[in-house]
Structure 1
Amino acid sequence: MTYDCHDLIRLFADCFASEFNTRLVGGAPEPVYLPADANEPMHRIIFTLDYYRSALHELHASL
């Protein structure tokens, strides 16, 4: 089975975006959590590049 971080992003959005006002975002050089602000209405869990493993790590760290 091939894992794709975009599948994880869609799954996260479908399950948690509206309830927690949070989205999962890939493509960053370093992982970071960014709270909602005046320019971005949703909290963001940002993971490294497009690494599936980084996304899972950031999600686990956010619990």
Structure 2
Amino acid sequence: MRVITRSELTYRSKYDLDAIFDLVLTEMGYASHGSPEWQNCMVSLDNIRHERAARNNITRPRGP
């Protein structure tokens, strides 16, 4: 598995991020602990988590 970068995730919807997260977790289950594939999964999961967190920290205007 290749690393999924933050720039690739920027224009994805919340639902896409959730689906990609699940896909990476599944791929991680098939990789040997400590292997390059496993490490790529870990980096990808971190990138997805950071993108989710960045979207949750956006300030939105309050209603009237």
TM-score by length of structure 1 reads 0.27
TM-score by length of structure 2 reads 0.27
Which protein shows a greater Rg? 2
More strand by share: 1
Higher relative contact order (CA 8 A, sep 6+): 2
